[in-house]
Amino acid sequence: MATAPLTTKPTPERMFNTLNAFQTTAALKTAIEMDLFTAISEGADQPATLAKRIGAAERGARILADYLTVHGFLTKEDGVYALTPDSAFFLDRKSPAYLGSMIGFLATDRHKQTFEHLTEAVRKGGSVLPEADNTKAQDEVWVSFAKSMAPITAPSAAFMAQFAGMSEQKPCKILDVAASHGMFGITFAKQNPNARIVALDWPAVLEVAKENARAAGVADRISFLPGSVFEADLGADYDFVLLTNILHHFDKSTIGKLLSRIHAALKPSGRVITLEFVPNEDRISPPTAAAFSLIMLTGTDAGDAYTFAEYDAMFRNAGFGKSTLHQVPTGPQQLVVSEKS
């Protein structure tokens, strides 16, 4: 039997695998499209039965399932595939935590084309795309995002609402900035029947949030504010402002303007909860937060995955007290919590 090499000599395997890494994206996307994980969970767990179930050739089903096993999405014992715990939780369509809709935003042609221009982006120091200025409405991108990415927010939204004490059910007023699918505000509203939410986003995007709010039965406590956080009349006296995955799109000066407007809209001692990819000071850990920076290089004019020290400084400059950093236990993101002083 062949075995992995035991040598410690240099090996080109990492280079080879990285130049082939785009294939893992394609394989997972195809598996989700074909609902392979659901099929296996329902017993179509060998190449012949799996092929029949997902409408594939047996060779195709076998090679794809083996590949997904190599990459940790399946297990295989005596020729029988099974889901890993993560795959069962996130990739079986019957799971309440199903995340397959993510392929409507991640790994789309648009994203991949962005990375076709990475060399130019590194030279320029920013995106070479015409639509990289995220202070302008980009309906196509952000409607896709709103429709695709709601499920992945559920654990962090639940953690944030709990963190903000929503279970105490005190009356409060919350501004959900760049609300997208609306799931952050909706989760706060569900945990706290006395919470009132203002959801801010571009008009086309808010249609997705409205639909989700109605489905969640909280539409009567959410008002919808169409427009830009840089220009809209945000209202006042908020207890909380939610800044979820918005600040990374901008440079520090633009973030400063945004935070000043937020500061003005909060009541005294009101808090901002920022959900972000926050790398450590070394900018190389934790891996997912640190790696996120490259997406900002290719997709924005001057955005970044900022460190906690950078966020803390930006918030202080805008009039907030010292911020605190909190790991979201279920995912790769972090919370920065900042109080109006």
Query: Shortest distance, CB of residue 247 to a copy of itself, whole angstroms?
Result: 16
Return d(Cα 53, Cα 283) in angstroms, integer. Answer: 45
330 in contact with a copy of itself (CB under 8 A) = yes
Residues within window 194-223 making contact with a copy of itself, judged by CB under 8 A: none
Show the tokens assigned to 339: 């109080």
The residues near 43 (Cβ < 8 Å, ≥ 6 apart) are 49
CB 275 within 8 A of CB 333: yes
Residues within window 103-122 making contact with a copy of itself, judged by CB under 8 A: 103, 106-107, 112, 115-116, 118-119, 121-122
40, 102, 208, 225: which one binds a copy of itself (CB under 8 A): 102
Q: Which stretch, 53-61, 200-208, 214-222, 311-319, contacts a copy of itself (CB under 8 A)?
A: 53-61
327 in contact with a copy of itself (CB under 8 A) = yes
165, 227, 256, 286: which one binds a copy of itself (CB under 8 A): 286
Return d(Cα 82, Cα 171) in angstroms, integer. Answer: 47
322 in contact with a copy of itself (CB under 8 A) = no
Backbone angles phi, psi at 81, to 5 degrees: -85, 150
302, 314, 318, 337: which one binds a copy of itself (CB under 8 A): 302
Residues within window 2-31 making contact with a copy of itself, judged by CB under 8 A: 2-5, 7, 9-30
- Helices assigned H by DSSP within the chain: 13-19, 22-33, 36-41, 47-54, 58-70, 85-90, 109-116, 118-124, 139-148, 150-163, 183-191, 203-216, 252-265, 287-299, 308-317
DSSP secondary structure code for residue 247 in this structure:
G
Return d(Cα 140, Cα 196) in angstroms, integer. Answer: 29
Query: Shortest distance, CB of residue 333 to a copy of itself, whole angstroms?
Result: 9
Q: Which stretch, 62-70, 138-146, 193-201, 260-268, contacts a copy of itself (CB under 8 A)?
A: 62-70
Residue whose CB is less far from a copy of itself, 97 or 141: 97
Instruction: Let me know if 202 is exposed, middle or buried by CB neighbors in 10 A (0-12, 13-18, 19+).
Output: buried
Residue whose CB is less far from a copy of itself, 270 or 303: 303
73 in contact with a copy of itself (CB under 8 A) = yes
Residues in contact with a copy of itself, counted by CB under 8 A, come to a total of: 102
Residue whose CB is less far from a copy of itself, 146 or 199: 146
Identify residue 216 by its one-letter amino acid code: A
Q: Which stretch, 58-66, 169-177, 191-199, 229-237, contacts a copy of itself (CB under 8 A)?
A: 58-66
Return d(Cα 143, Cα 65) in angstroms, integer. Answer: 32
Residue whose CB is less far from a copy of itself, 260 or 288: 288
Q: Tell me the torsion sign for CA atoms 98, 205, 161, 214.
A: negative
Residue whose CB is less far from a copy of itself, 21 or 264: 21
Residue whose CB is less far from a copy of itself, 130 or 329: 329
99, 166, 183, 259: which one binds a copy of itself (CB under 8 A): 99
Residues within window 133-172 making contact with a copy of itself, judged by CB under 8 A: 152
3-state secondary structure of 49: helix
206, 219, 289, 318: which one binds a copy of itself (CB under 8 A): 289
CB 224 within 8 A of CB 255: no
Residues within window 238-257 making contact with a copy of itself, judged by CB under 8 A: none
Residue whose CB is less far from a copy of itself, 192 or 333: 333
Closest CA to 142 of 219, 226, 26: 226
Show the tokens assigned to 234: 């945000």
82, 216, 295, 313: which one binds a copy of itself (CB under 8 A): 295
